[in-house]
Chains A and B, each alone.
Chain A
Amino acid sequence: MKVSLFITCLVDMFYAEAGKDMVEVLERQGCELSFPKGQVCCGQPAYNSGYVENSKSAMKNMIKAFENAEYVVTPSGSCATMFKLYPDVFKDDPNWLPRAQELADKTYEFTQFLVNVLQVENVGAKLMGKATYHPSCHMTRLLGASEEPRKLLNQVEGLEMIPLPNAHNCCGFGGTFSVKMGDISEQMVDEKVNSAMATEADYLIGADCGCLMNIGGRAERVGKPIRVMHIAQVLNSHE
C-alpha cells in the first residue's frame, strides 16, 4: 500500500523521533512510504487565529503537494482535522473545492489508518510500565478518532493502561491560545499534569505533538517526573 507521509511542522522540527517511529511501524505493516517534498504547514495556526485568507496559500500548497498521493497519513489528529476542513474553507471556490475534497477524503490520522484501513490492532509492540492516555480534543471530537488509539495501546505487551481523570478536558494548548491566554492555559495544563500524576503512570501518551509539547513542557518546568510519549513511539517500542 502506498502511503504519503504528512509529517506536520512540529514533528519535522522538534519530534523527528516520533516521525521515524511512525515510519518503522508503517513499513513493518508493508506500507511503501513517500514524503512529498513540497509539504510545509497545514495552515492551522493562522486559520484558528482568524486569519482565514492568509492561511489559504498554505492550504493550496498542501493540496498540490499531496495531489498524487493514494493515502495521506499523519501523526497528528489536529492536523488531520485541518485537512478535513479544507473543503469547507474552499466551499465557494469551484477550482479548489474538488481538489480540497479529494485530499480530505484520502487523509488519515496514524492510528485511524492502522486500525481502520490496515485493520491491525496488534503491531507487536512491547513496553513495560503503567501508562495513561490523553485524548486530544480535535482528534477525538472533530475527527472522531477515540477508540483507535485505545485499541492499539491495549495490545502493547507489558503496558498497563490507567484511565486519566477528567480525560475529556482540554490540556490548554489550543495553538496561539497557549501564549495569548497564558494565565488560563497555565491553569488548564496544570490540572492535566496533576491528573496524569494522580494515575501514578510512568508514561503519558498522546497522539498530537501540540498537546504533548504543552503537557510535557509544563511537567518538566514544574518538575513532575512523567514521561510524555507520542503513540508512534509506544507502538515502535520493543523492550
Chain B
Amino acid sequence: MAMKFSKKNFTDRTKDNISDDFMRQAVASAQERLHGRRLDAAEELGSWEEWRSHGEEIRQHVLENLDYYLHQLSENVSQRGGHVFFAMTAEEASEYIRDVIKKKEGKKVVKSKSMVTEEINLNNVLEEAGCEVIETDLGEYILQVDDHDPPSHIVAPALHKNREQIREVFAEKLDYHNTSKPEELALHAREKLRQEFLDADIGITGCNFAIAETGSISLVTNEGNARLVSALPKTQITVMGMERVVPSFEEFEVLVSLLTRSAVGQKLTSYVTALTGPRDEGDVDGPEEFHLVIVDNGRSEILGTEFQSVLQCIRCAACVNVCPVYRHIGGHSYGSIYSGPIGAVLSPLLGGYDDFKELPFASTLCGACTDACPVKIPLHELLHSHRRIMVEEEGRSPISERLAMKAFGIGASSNPLYSMGSKVASTAMKPLTKNDRISKGPGPLKDWTDLREFPAVGNTRFRDWFYDQKGGK
C-alpha cells in the first residue's frame, strides 16, 4: 500500500465514513478508553510536563545533529556485521529490499508492524516479485486478510473494525467457526501464523528507535510477534524513517516511557526489544544476515523548514486519539496511511498538496493534538502553516474566497467601513429574520443555515448602546 490509497476525493471519502455507524462507534469508544488511560499513566509517572520537555529536547537535538547520529548508527551497525542502505526514495527502498530477498532466494516473508513499509509500498513490490508476504501484527493481519483494507490508525491499524466485523472476515477468509470473543479470534490468528513464522525465510520489521551509540534497533510491541519475526527467519530486514534515531539507551528510555504511556496508557508494553546486528557465534537464535534500510523519502527536505518539528514524532497516535475530527470521520477519510492530526501535517509534506490539500483545513485548530503530543510538536500551528502556504504562496484558494478575504482586510481595518458594512448587513438581513433568527440564509450564509439557525443582527449594536449610555467615552 502506498501512502495515498484512495482515488475518491476528500468530500466523498468523508461522507462515506460519516455514514459508517460501526466505525464511528468503534472510534469513539477507543478514543474515550485511551484518553482516560493516557491521562492516568501520565499522572502515575508524575512531572509529565517535564518529561514532555525532555522528550522534545531529545528529539530536537537529534534532528539538529541528524547527519552525525545517522553516520554513527550506520558505522556501528556495519561494525556488528549488519548492512546499511540509505534510500532517498520509496522506490529505492523497496527495490533494495526486493533485491536482497531475490539474492537470498526468499519466498516467504513475515512482517511485524511498520508504517514506513506501508509508505514505501513494500508489500506490493514484493508480491509483484513473487514473494508471499504475511503481516503478523494482529491488526495488520486482519486488514491483510480482509483484501488489503488500508490502516485507519497508526498504532491500531484495524481500529475501524469491531469484533463482529472481524469475526465475519475470519469466517469468510480463514474458515473460522468460533465466536467474536477477542481471545478466540486472537487464538485463531495465532495458530494460523505460527506455521508461517516457522516457514518464513525473510523477516521484515519496522523500528521504533535506532540507537546510534550501539548500532541497535528497537521494537515496542504487545504481541511478541516482532520477536518471532526477528528471531526465526535467516535474514532480517529492518526499515526505519531516517529521523527515528536516538543517541544512546539513556535517551531511548525517556522516549519509550513517553511512547507507551501516550500510545496505550501503559507503563511499558509487554515486549520492548533491542537488537544489535545479526546473530553472533554461539547465539541460539537471530538472523544470519541483517539489513537496515534508512528511508528518506522526502524527510530531508522537511529539515530546516518551519515544519521540522513534525520529524520529532514518535508515532504514538496520542494526537489521533484526542482529535474531535478524526473521531467522526475515522482514518480512511484522510486518504493517507498517516491519518489524524499528525497525518494531516505529514501527508502533504511527503505526498504533496495535490493529493492532500484538504487535510490541513479539516481541523478546527482546537489544539487538542498539540496538548496531547508527548514531544510537544505544535501540530495545530503546523496545520495553520500549511493553510498559509497554500493560500499565500501557492494561490490554491478559490477566487471568491480570496476576494472576500481581501475585502475583509480592508473592512476590518477601518471603523467607518465596518460601521457602514454592519449597518447594511443589519438592514439586508431584516427581511430574512423571523423570531430573532435566520433559518434560510442567502449566499455564504447558506452553508451555515443549512445546518443551524443564525442569530438576527440586534436592533442596536453594542457600540451604539455604549455611546448612547456612556456618552462615547
User: What residues of chain A have their CB less than 8 Å away from a CB belonging to chain B?
Assistant: 5, 7, 11-17, 19-20, 23, 33-35, 37-41, 43, 45-46, 48-58, 60-61, 137-138, 141-142, 166, 168-170, 172-175, 177-189, 191, 213-214, 216-218, 220-221
Within 8 A of A (CB), among B130-173: none
Whether B45 sits at the interface, judged by CB under 8 Å, is no
Q: Which residues does chain B contribute within 8 Å of A177, judged by CB atoms? A: 361, 363-365
Nearest Cβ on chain A to B221's Cβ, whole angstroms: 29
In the complex, A81 Cα to B462 Cα: how many Å? 21
Whether the Cβ atoms of B18 and A187 lie closer than 8 Å is: yes
Q: Which residues does chain B contribute within 8 Å of A179, judged by CB atoms? A: 444, 447-448
In the complex, A217 Cα to B436 Cα: how many Å? 12
Q: Which residues does chain A contribute within 8 Å of B410, judged by CB atoms? A: 57
DSSP class of B's interface residues: helix, strand, loop or mixed?
Answer: helix
Whether the Cβ atoms of A168 and B384 lie closer than 8 Å is: no
Whether the Cβ atoms of A184 and B387 lie closer than 8 Å is: no
Whether the Cβ atoms of B361 and A13 lie closer than 8 Å is: no
Chain B residue at minimum C-beta to C-beta distance from A75: B462
Of B265-273, B307-315, B366-374, the one contacting chain A is B366-374
Q: Which residues does chain B contribute within 8 Å of A218, judged by CB atoms? A: 451-453
Whether the Cβ atoms of A220 and B453 lie closer than 8 Å is: yes
Whether the Cβ atoms of A174 and B391 lie closer than 8 Å is: no
Whether the Cβ atoms of A141 and B451 lie closer than 8 Å is: no
Whether B470 sits at the interface, judged by CB under 8 Å, is yes
Within 8 A of A (CB), among B106-146: none
Whether the Cβ atoms of A137 and B364 lie closer than 8 Å is: yes
**Listed residue (B415, B422, B426) with the most chain A CB atoms within 10 angstroms of its CB:** B415
Whether B408 sits at the interface, judged by CB under 8 Å, is yes
Top 4 A-B pairs ranked by shortest CB distance? A174-B364, A217-B452, A50-B387, A50-B391
Of B47-55, B296-304, B320-328, the one contacting chain A is B320-328
Nearest Cβ on chain B to A170's Cβ, whole angstroms: 4
Question: Out of B327, B368, B384, which one reaches A137, CB within 8 Å?
Answer: B368
Q: Which residues does chain B contribute within 8 Å of A5, judged by CB atoms? A: 466
Whether the Cβ atoms of B457 and A180 lie closer than 8 Å is: no
Whether the Cβ atoms of B392 and A13 lie closer than 8 Å is: no
In the complex, A131 Cα to B384 Cα: how many Å? 34
In the complex, A102 Cα to B35 Cα: how many Å? 38
Q: Which residues does chain A contribute within 8 Å of B15, judged by CB atoms? A: 183
With A13-B462, A55-B408 already in contact, 11 other A-B pairs whose C-beta atoms are closer than 8 Å: A7-B462, A19-B465, A33-B470, A40-B412, A51-B388, A56-B409, A61-B415, A137-B364, A137-B365, A138-B365, A217-B452
Q: Which residues does chain A contribute within 8 Å of B439, judged by CB atoms? A: 221
Number of A-B contacts (CB under 8 A): 204
If A37-B415, A51-B392, A58-B412 touch, whether A12 touches B422 (CB-CB below 8 Å) is yes
Question: Out of A39, A138, A172, which one reaches B324, CB within 8 Å?
Answer: A172
Whether B282 sits at the interface, judged by CB under 8 Å, is no
Q: Which residues does chain A contribute within 8 Å of B409, judged by CB atoms? A: 46, 51, 53-58
Whether the Cβ atoms of B328 and A184 lie closer than 8 Å is: yes
Nearest Cβ on chain A to B428's Cβ, whole angstroms: 13
Question: Out of A14, A52, A138, which one reaches B455, CB within 8 Å?
Answer: A14
Question: Out of A11, A13, A45, A181, which one reaches B422, CB within 8 Å?
Answer: A13
Whether the Cβ atoms of A181 and B361 lie closer than 8 Å is: yes
Q: Which residues does chain A contribute within 8 Å of B324, judged by CB atoms? A: 169-170, 172, 188
In the complex, A142 Cα to B465 Cα: how many Å? 32
Whether the Cβ atoms of A53 and B437 lie closer than 8 Å is: no
Whether the Cβ atoms of A188 and B463 lie closer than 8 Å is: no
A sample of 23 inter-chain contacts (CB < 8 A) reads: A12-B461, A13-B461, A16-B460, A19-B462, A35-B472, A35-B473, A39-B415, A40-B412, A43-B412, A52-B388, A137-B364, A137-B365, A137-B367, A138-B366, A141-B366, A141-B370, A170-B324, A170-B366, A170-B368, A172-B324, A189-B451, A213-B454, A220-B437
If A14-B458, A57-B409, A138-B367 touch, whether A178 touches B388 (CB-CB below 8 Å) is no
In the complex, A175 Cα to B470 Cα: how many Å? 32
In the complex, A43 Cα to B437 Cα: how many Å? 25
Whether the Cβ atoms of B14 and A183 lie closer than 8 Å is: yes
In the complex, A191 Cα to B18 Cα: how many Å? 13
Q: Which residues does chain A contribute within 8 Å of B362, judged by CB atoms? A: 181, 184
Question: Mask for B433-451, Cβ within 8 A of A = 1, else 0?
Answer: 0000101000010011011
Q: Which residues does chain B contribute within 8 Å of A57, judged by CB atoms? A: 409-410, 412-413
Whether B195 sits at the interface, judged by CB under 8 Å, is no
Question: Out of B32, B451, B463, B473, which one reaches A185, CB within 8 Å?
Answer: B451
Q: Which residues does chain A contribute within 8 Å of B460, judged by CB atoms? A: 16
Q: Which residues does chain A contribute within 8 Å of B186, judged by CB atoms? A: none
Q: Which residues does chain A contribute within 8 Å of B14, judged by CB atoms? A: 183-184
If A166-B32, A179-B444 touch, whether A220 touches B457 (CB-CB below 8 Å) is no
Q: Which residues does chain A contribute within 8 Å of B448, judged by CB atoms? A: 178-179, 217
Q: Which residues does chain B contribute within 8 Å of A38, judged by CB atoms? A: 415
Chain B residue at minimum C-beta to C-beta distance from A14: B455
Question: Mask for B1-18, Cβ within 8 A of A = 1, else 0?
Answer: 000000000010011001
Whether the Cβ atoms of B412 and A41 lie closer than 8 Å is: yes
Q: Which residues does chain B contribute within 8 Å of A191, judged by CB atoms? A: 328
If A40-B418, A179-B448, A220-B453 touch, whether A141 touches B406 (CB-CB below 8 Å) is no
Whether B178 sits at the interface, judged by CB under 8 Å, is no
Nearest Cβ on chain B to A5's Cβ, whole angstroms: 8
If A12-B461, A50-B391 touch, whether A220 touches B452 (CB-CB below 8 Å) is yes
If A50-B391, A141-B370 touch, whether A217 touches B457 (CB-CB below 8 Å) is no
Whether the Cβ atoms of B414 and A40 lie closer than 8 Å is: yes
Nearest Cβ on chain B to A40's Cβ, whole angstroms: 4
Question: Out of B361, B364, B455, B473, which one reaches A213, CB within 8 Å?
Answer: B455
Nearest Cβ on chain B to A150's Cβ, whole angstroms: 18
Whether the Cβ atoms of A182 and B447 lie closer than 8 Å is: yes
Whether the Cβ atoms of B470 and A35 lie closer than 8 Å is: yes
Nearest Cβ on chain A to B315's Cβ, whole angstroms: 23
